[in-house]
Amino acid sequence: MELRTPRLLLREFRTGDHAAVHAFAGDAEVTRYTDWGPNSTVDTTAFMTEVVQDAAALPRHRFGLAVAELEHGTLIGSVELQVTSTSHRRAEIGYVLHRQWWGRGYAGEAAAALLDFGFEELGLHKITATCDPRNTASARVLAKIGMRREGHLRDHLYLRGRWHDRLLYAALSR
Ligand SMILES: CC(C)(COP(=O)(O)OP(=O)(O)OC[C@H]1O[C@@H](n2cnc3c(N)ncnc32)[C@H](O)[C@@H]1OP(=O)(O)O)[C@@H](O)C(=O)NCCC(=O)NCCS
């Protein structure tokens, strides 16, 4: 599958994407607030193997897609929509971009396309996202695409030797 936005193509990952994925997934500045990373090359290989396997599952619950910038065809990041409950028609989204492409509104453009896909194509009722409270850029992205802050989850994740809070955002089907 693929999704298009004015400036981006969200497409399936290919084996040849490894170096481009590792360029952001292995960057500690990029993964400062994520619950994974920075990746070793082995971690990136494992991620790509899983995401390709999960793309073939029927029914498909995980939509991990490469984000390519249309003008140059460059792979600039990845997004993901994971169906967390079929019976409650609920999913979670996430996104990450190479540092070079931050600050141009690309994450919101990609995430908004994922929301539309989730509600219109998958018939979901609720889509959630979480972010580190210090990750102001990500919280801004979620607010800009119309997701509402539903709560502050205290000590929600144990990462890198300590507990971390998470902000919970959600959008409901229109
Ligand atoms: C978070 C991330 C996806 C944002 O993507 P982006 O395409 O750069 O986002 P935008 O260009 O739409 O910027 C979002 C907003 O945050 C603001 N912003 C950007 N960097 C910021 C920073 N370091 N501090 C505060 N605000 C910042 C921007 O000004 C913009 O606000 P505005 O629209 O009111 O001007 C990107 O920084 C990233 O990939 N970070 C690493 C991975 C990550 O944290 N993913 C999210 C996990 S929840």
Distance 58 CA to ligand 1 centre (A): 34
Q: Residues 21-31: pLDDT tens digits?
A: 999 999 999 99
- Give nearest CA residue, ligand 1 atom 23: 137
Which atom of ligand 1 has the smallest separation from the CA of 108? 12
> Could you identify the residue written with the tokens 């070079």?
100
Give the CATH number, domain containing residue 66.
Answer: 3.40.630.30
Q: Whose CA is nearest to atom 48 of ligand 1?
A: 131
Q: What is the pLDDT along the chain (174 residues), one digit of tens a residue?
A: 999 999 999 999 999 999 999 999 999 999 999 999 999 999 999 999 999 999 999 999 999 999 999 999 999 999 999 999 999 999 999 999 999 999 999 999 999 999 999 999 999 999 999 999 999 999 999 999 999 999 999 999 999 999 999 999 999 997
136-171 tens-digit pLDDT = 999 999 999 999 999 999 999 999 999 999 999 999
Give 4's strand partners: 9
Q: Is residue 138 part of a domain?
A: no
Residue 169: inside a domain, yes or no? no
Please give the residue range of the domain that contains residue 115: 2-125
Query: CB pairs under 8 A, 24+ apart, for 150-157?
Result: 156/130, 157/35
Q: Is 7 in the pocket of ligand 1 (CB under 6 A)?
A: no
Number of structural domains in the chain: 1
Asked if residue 135 has its Cβ within 6 Å of ligand 1, the reply is yes
